[in-house]
Amino acid sequence: MVLCSRRRRASVSCERSVLPSVHDIRAALEATERFRIEEQIHEGMQALSFRAHNVAQNRTVFLKLIDYTPGNDEQSLREVRMLAETAETTTHASSSNLVRILDAEIMTLCGKLFVCIQTEFVVGSSVYAKVRLGPLGQQRAILNGCRILAGVSELHQLGLIHRDLKPANVMLSDVTGHPVIADLGSVATVGAQVLVRSWSKHSPLYTTPETWDHGEFSHATDVYQVGMLVYEMANGGLDIDDRHWLHVRDLGDLHRLGKREADLEDWEFSRLVNKGIARRAADQTLLAHGCAPMATMSASLARLLKRMTAPRPDQRPSVSEARNKLQGLALPNWLPVEEGVFEAQNWIQCDVRIVALRASVFQVEKRHASSERSFRKWSGSPHFADAGEAARWVEGQ
């Protein structure tokens, strides 16, 4: 089953052996009498994922099935089992930003071996689903970013790194409103990481320059990926159309060889897409190319995210520094509400908005958040040439 056709997101690895049908696997899972399958979750890239009822525990769980290759996967299974055991022996705070792994086992279904990772089911939407709809606002992005870093820090304290913090792997819980790192299929022990296979298909967009260049992962890999997550939560999701990532230089090389995009095999096309992504990760233009920053984005947040996504791992802040710096940022939660209008609720006990009166003339307005009164011009505020200038003025008040 080739899952990285040109209509889908690019993935580092496109290969996957032929599977029995989903219908057969569902039936085989149910035949164990351990699970009732409630729903297949289709958002995933490669694995088979289900919402299921665990009969013995009488609870809803998230099941992820991944092909298992004996000899190759033992180390990865060890890391995931270690997390399952840690979860068993510690009282899991409901405020934790890490999903609880309930079990990780090898199962034979329809004559095929699978790793079955069972985690608690997080009711909510993934960050991926949310940012596809638009930005969450920079202050919400900061709060979520701090909590994701708290989850990352829990992992780092166990001697593990995540390696695949991408929007589809972080859920926003409807119950607590908090982010939960929901897919721990990529964790690896620091130092031994090259040996550990990942059961989450690393999306090229979130691959760091050091991973592209040397297959290297470290604590700083996680910081880079959280920087990307915060950017997307603040500004909206990155473009996931493969063609968007082709680089003009690579296309030029292709044309010089007398070839056109249409002549390429899928794997050649994926390689070209990945090359374009890797180039932009290396020169730090990836985020802006994937989604232009909102005009109202704070310069202090932009600076911090630039450091977190620095091409060289040693130029990135540590997890605790990134968390402290994020925590120190109190910023208006600007959201675009209609063409030429940005609104930030609850900023210094007011709701504030920036309105384009006409081309290159922006006005700042406010209303007391507690009342329903309509917006009025913020008295004493000048007119601004663009929304960014107006946002900087508001931030300074």
Ligand X SMILES: Nc1ncnc2c1ncn2[C@@H]1O[C@H](COP(=O)(O)OP(=O)(O)OP(=O)(O)O)[C@@H](O)[C@H]1O
* Residue with the CB atom nearest ligand X in the bound state: 44
Cα separation of 60 and 53, whole Å? 4
- Closest separation in Å from C-beta 140 to ligand X: 19
Nearer to Mg ion by Cβ, of 73 and 183: the residue is 183
Q: Which does 147 bind (CB under 5 to 8 A by kind): Mg ion, ligand X, none?
A: none
Does the protein bind ligand X through residue 25 (CB under 6 A)? no
DSSP letter at 384? B
Cα dihedral sign, 313-314-315-316:
positive
Q: Which two tokens stand for residue 159?
A: 């001697």
Q: Of these, 79, 183, 232, 365, which contacts Mg ion (CB under 5 A)?
A: 183
Q: Report phi then psi at 304, rounded to 5.
A: -65, -45
Question: Taking CB under 6 A as the rule, does residue 142 contact ligand X?
Answer: no
Q: How many residues bind ligand X (CB under 6 A)?
A: 22
Question: CA 336, CA 353: separation in Å to the nearest integer?
Answer: 10
What is the DSSP secondary structure assignment for residue 87, as one 8-state letter?
H
x-or-dash pattern for Mg ion, window 194-233, by CB under 5 A?
A: ------x---------------------------------
**Minimum CB–partner distance for residue 183 and Mg ion (Å):** 3
Contacting ligand X within 177-196 (CB under 6 A): 182-183
Measured CA to CA, the distance from residue 317 to residue 310 in angstroms comes to: 9
Whole-angstrom distance, CA of residue 134 vs CA of residue 130: 7
Distance of CA 16 to the CA centre of its chain: 23
Binding positions for ligand X, 32-91, rule CB under 6 A: 41, 43-47, 49, 62, 64
The set of residues, in sequence order, having a beta carbon less than 8 Å from that of 236 and lying 6+ positions away, is 131, 134, 135, 291, 294
Q: Which stretch binds Mg ion (CB under 5 A): 167-175, 276-284, 325-333, 352-360?
A: 167-175
Q: Name the residue nearer to Mg ion (CB basis): 50 or 384.
A: 50
Q: Tell me: does residue 169 bind ligand X (CB under 6 A).
A: yes
Nearest approach in angstroms of CB 39 to Mg ion is 16
- 3-class DSSP string for 11-34: CCCCCCCCCCCHHHHHHHHHHCCC
Strands 350-358 and 341-347: what pairing?
antiparallel
Q: How many residues make contact with Mg ion (CB under 5 A)?
A: 3
Residue ranges in contact with ligand X by CB under 6 A: 41, 43-47, 49, 62, 64, 99, 119, 121-122, 126, 128, 168-169, 171, 182-183, 200-201
Residues found near Mg ion in the complex (CB under 5 A): 169, 183, 200
